[in-house]
Amino acid sequence: MNLDNFLRTKGTDEDLAQLIMLLSKQALDIKAGFLSARGTADTKNVYGETQMALDKRADEILIAALKASRLVNWIATEEQPDIIEVEGAKNPFGVTIDPLDGSSLIDVNLAVGTIVGIYPGHVLEPGNTMLGALYILYGPLTTLTYTTGSGVHEFVMHEDGTFTLMQENLTIPDGKIYAPGALRKDYLPYHKQFIEQLELEGYKLRFSGSFVADVHQILHKGGMFTYPAFAGKESGKLRLLFEGTPLGKVVTEAGGAVSNGTVNLLEVKPTAVSNRTPIYIGGRKEIALIESYKKNAGT
C-alpha cells in the first residue's frame, strides 16, 4: 500500500496527511544531491558548524516546498538562525527540521537522514504536544518512518519517489545495542556508571556519527543511544527541537522512551530553537536505569 492510501486508511487528519505527503515528495530531490552537491559549503550555521553543500540544499528544498504549499505557519530548521513565518498559511502548524542529520558522513557514503517534528502551532512547546514526527533515512534504501500518535509505520521509496508500506505498528524490541556519544574521558560519574553497567551486561557498540541512523537501528533492534552531558558541555551536543523531540516522539510511540537523564524529554519546554540537551533514547528499561543512576548520584 502506498503512503497516501495508508494515511487515508488510518483516518489521518487531512491537513496533516497532506503535510506528510509533501515532505515525502522532497526525498527524491534531496537524494539527487548526494551526487550533485558534494563537499562543504564554506559557510557556518548558527551553531558554528561548517555546513555541507547538502545541508544547505536539503534545507532549501524543504523550506521552498513548505512555503509554496502554505501547509504550515512556522518553519524552524537547524540551518536557519530564525523561525520562518509563512505568509498566508492554510494551517496553524509548526515544523522543526534537521534537513540533513549525520552530515559528517555524507562524504563517506554512510546513512544520513532528515528529521521532522510537527506541532499544532508554534514550535517552542514541549514535544508531547506534537501532532506527529517523521524521519527519512537515506541508506541503501530510502525509508520514511512516521507517527501521528497511533503507531509507528515504515515505508520504502521507489525509483519514482513514491513510498510503499514496509512495516506497520513497529515496536522497539528488547536488545543489547548501545550507541554512546561524547568522549569517555569526559563522562560524568553517573553516566560512566551507566555505560559500564551496559558493557557488563554485554551490550554491543554501534555508534556511526548519524543520530538518525543509530536511532533507526535501535528502533529495530533494541538498546539505547545517548549523547550525554559531559565535562565542559553540561547541555550535551544534540538539539532538543531538531533531534531529541522528533525522534523521541517516534521511539516513545513505538513503546520506548526518551530522557535527558532526569525527565522525559517530551515534557521539556524549549526556551529557544537552538536549545541543546543531553539525550538518552531507546528501550524503557535502559532509560529507567540511567534516570535511577543519575538520581542516586544526586544530580
Residue ranges that bind ligand AHG, judged by CB under 6 A? 49, 78, 98, 101-104, 181, 209-211, 227, 237
Q: How far is the CB of 135 from ligand AHG (least distance, A)?
A: 11
Residue type (1 letter), 87: E
Nearer to Mn ion, 175 or 282 (CB): 282
CB 133 within 8 A of CB 252: no
CB 180 within 8 A of CB 204: no
Q: How far is the CB of 109 from Mn ion (least distance, A)?
A: 17
Contacts to Mn ion from residues 224-263, by CB under 5 A: none
Nearer to Mn ion, 175 or 181 (CB): 181
Partner interacting with residue 127 (select from ligand AHG, Mn ion, none; CB below 5-8 Å by kind): none
Question: In the structure grid, which three cell numbers stand for residue 114, read together?
Answer: 532528515
Q: How far is the CB of 114 from ligand AHG (least distance, A)?
A: 10
Nearer to ligand AHG, 16 or 100 (CB): 100
CB 94 within 8 A of CB 121: yes
Strand partners for 156: 143, 164
In the set 30, 52, 75, 98, which binds Mn ion (CB under 5 A)? 98
Nearer to Mn ion, 98 or 286 (CB): 98
Other CB atoms within 10 Å distance of the CB of residue 45: 18
Interface with Mn ion includes 286 (CB under 5 A)?
A: no
Taking CB atoms, the residue at the shortest distance from Mn ion is 101
Q: Could you tell me which stretch among 90-98, 131-139, 178-186, 229-237 binds Mn ion (CB under 5 A)?
A: 90-98
Nearer to Mn ion, 175 or 236 (CB): 236
Q: How far is the CB of 297 from ligand AHG (least distance, A)?
A: 24
Q: How far is the CB of 11 from ligand AHG (least distance, A)?
A: 33
Nearer to ligand AHG, 115 or 289 (CB): 115
Interface with Mn ion includes 59 (CB under 5 A)?
A: no
Partner interacting with residue 209 (select from ligand AHG, Mn ion, none; CB below 5-8 Å by kind): ligand AHG
CB 149 within 8 A of CB 270: no
